Amino acid sequence: MQFDRRAFLAASAATAISSKALAQGGPVLRPEDFGARGDGIANDTRAFAALSAEVNRRGGGTISLASKRTYIVGGQKAGGPYFGWEPELILDLQDLAGPLTIVGNGARLRCEAGLRFGTFDPASGAPVRRAMPNFQRSELASPYRGLIHVHNCRGPIAIRDVELDGNLERLRIGGPFGDTGWQIPATGLLLEGNLGEETVENVFTHHHGQDGAIIIGVLRRSGRSRFSHLVSRHNGRQGLSVTGGHGYGFADCEFSHTGRGAIYSAPGAGVDIEAEDQPIRDLSFTRCKFIDNAGVGMVADSGDSEDARFTDCVFVGTTTWSAWPNKPRFAFAGCTFVGAVVHPFPDKDPARGARFVECRFTDDPRLSPAGKVYLESGPIVNMAESDNVLFDRCKFDLVGDGVLPWSWRATYRDCVMAQRSPKPAATKGRYQGHTTISGPVDLYGSMVEGVLILNGKQIPRGPMGVPPW
């Protein structure tokens, strides 16, 4: 979890691409060619807008930022068609048929301090707070839609080694807008409607009023996308929102501390997988972290979302659930959950139910950054309906107040389960393979098909107090 600008710069240096190598890929455009200063003082928004216009005119190209520079960006115009304070475009790249490459070289895009974010009185400019929901656009102010916004492109896209700093703590915060919280554009990386391959490497996106990154994909896209070392922290609404599309893979990424800054907007998740206009399919997360978010670490609970795989990931819930995977075909392998999991997806079809293979579930506060672990009413996995939710070779190691899962027809295969709390658990389900349980557990209604050892005593095979199911 020790990732800051120093770590980001070190990673950028390790993957630096020489100017000669860039030149071999065609003409290289730099914001300085359009008047940018990159001195951390002057506002370079117009230079980036002009740079974007030239790339859009060419249908693609390579953008190279100056090494380790800070570019101040963001601006507002009063009285726009959709906002009382309309955000100016920054890096806005669209409808490109050819390849687009953005090489950050460790540079930082930082939002101008003092810009408005929220709702304000159009006459006086003072912040206003209205009863929610609030949809009065004449009072709405956004500092930027996306520091980098790439949309409706057909060619391959590559973005690497750039820091996107929303500077949220130094914005002028107005009242909330939308159904709840501040549902207002202000996102670091916004990828929308792109059809080709997307590659994002070593991007540090933080302190945005909305999300660290948003993917608004389409199901008809032909390319796949790869994200590595995308670190998203301290954003107001989400670390990452995926609202549509298929074929997105994330490796060694982090989505943490959402809602822990100047504002919090629901859901406040590390990652929100929520299909809106387009279905979501084929997501993968490998060695990713979802830590200490004001909302759920990873939530999938609405829209036509399906088929997400998590391998060797870490979920830490400090004030709410570590994960909420209430969609079909969500699979977890070798993952660690610190804090309660809720609503793993049940189904009559075993292929559609949530699957946990060789995962660890614990309430150990030593694994939490603040020494806090969220347990709600006690169970480390809280299930209502639980048909064909599978726990295969999982370990439940509860050292505090947590209790073993509450379930009815989940499947437990070759698990090791222990709790210290004297509170009874209701870990009812189908037991296969060889499972051991230590602690006060009510198994009435379970089916024992393998070897089940409860507090040192083997339980006879067969149904426990109910007809076979």
**Secondary structure (DSSP) of 250-283:** EES-EEE-TT-SS---TT-EEEEEE-SSS-EEEE
Contacts of 132 (CB under 8 A, 6+ apart): 176, 178, 179, 180
Average pLDDT over residues 5-10: 77
Positive/negative CA dihedral, 38, 161, 300, 218: positive
Between CA 230 and CA 189 the distance in angstroms is 10
In this structure, is residue 468 part of a structural domain? no
Domain range for residue 221? 5-463
**Phi-psi category of residue 343: left, alpha or beta, with phi > 0 → left and psi -120 to 50 → alpha:** left
The enclosing domain of 369 has a CATH number of: 2.160.20
- Fill in the amino acid letter for 46: R
pLDDT above 70 for 323: yes
State which H helix or E strand residue 433 sits in: none
Cα separations (Å) of 328 from 45, 393, 407? 43, 21, 18
Token pair, residue 350, equals 């075993």
Confidence grade of residue 1 (pLDDT, cut at 50, 70, 90): very low
Nearest to 71 by CA among 95, 25, 102: 102
User: pLDDT, tens digit, for every residue of 12-36?
Assistant: 777 666 555 554 456 899 999 999 9
State which H helix or E strand residue 348 sits in: none
- Fill in the amino acid letter for 8: F
Between CA 107 and CA 147 the distance in angstroms is 13
State how many domains the chain has: 1
Average pLDDT over residues 177-182: 96
Instruction: Work out the number of other CB atoms within 10 angstroms of the CB of residue 323.
Output: 30
Q: What is the pLDDT of residue 16?
A: 66
Cα separations (Å) of 455 from 447, 452, 459? 18, 10, 10
Between CA 286 and CA 231 the distance in angstroms is 14
pLDDT above 50 for 459: yes
Confidence grade of residue 370 (pLDDT, cut at 50, 70, 90): confident
CA geometry: angle 217, 327, 402, nearest 5 deg = 125
Q: Which residue has the higher pLDDT, 24 or 51?
A: 51
Between CA 230 and CA 93 the distance in angstroms is 20
Confidence grade of residue 423 (pLDDT, cut at 50, 70, 90): very high
Instruction: Work out the number of other CB atoms within 10 angstroms of the CB of residue 158.
Output: 16
End-to-end CA distance of the chain: 45
- Fill in the amino acid letter for 63: I
Confidence grade of residue 7 (pLDDT, cut at 50, 70, 90): confident
In this structure, is residue 396 part of a structural domain? yes
In this structure, is residue 469 part of a structural domain? no
Cβ(339)–Cβ(316) below 8 Å = yes
Strands 85-87 and 70-73, bridge-based pairing: unpaired
In this structure, is residue 394 part of a structural domain? yes
In this structure, is residue 167 part of a structural domain? yes
Q: Which residue has the higher pLDDT, 45 or 82?
A: 45
Between CA 386 and CA 376 the distance in angstroms is 18
In this structure, is residue 45 part of a structural domain? yes
- Fill in the amino acid letter for 84: G
In this structure, is residue 38 part of a structural domain? yes
Model pTM score: 0.95
DSSP letter at 26 equals S
Mean pLDDT score across all residues of the chain: 95
In this structure, is residue 267 part of a structural domain? yes
Cβ(186)–Cβ(209) below 8 Å = yes
Torsion angle, alpha carbons of 12, 13, 19, 22, to 10: -40
- pLDDT > 70: percent of the chain: 97
pLDDT above 80 for 335: yes
Judge if the upstream peptide bond of residue 156 is cis by omega within 30 degrees of 0.
Answer: no
Cα separations (Å) of 403 from 300, 317, 334, 418? 24, 16, 21, 8
Q: What is the pLDDT of residue 11?
A: 75
Cα separations (Å) of 85 from 118, 128, 142, 176? 10, 14, 6, 15
Q: What is the pLDDT of residue 13?
A: 76
- Fill in the amino acid letter for 323: A
Positive/negative CA dihedral, 47, 51, 54, 56: negative
User: pLDDT, tens digit, for every residue of 206-237?
Assistant: 999 999 999 999 988 988 999 999 999 999 99
- pLDDT > 90: percent of the chain: 91
Token pair, residue 26, equals 């065609």
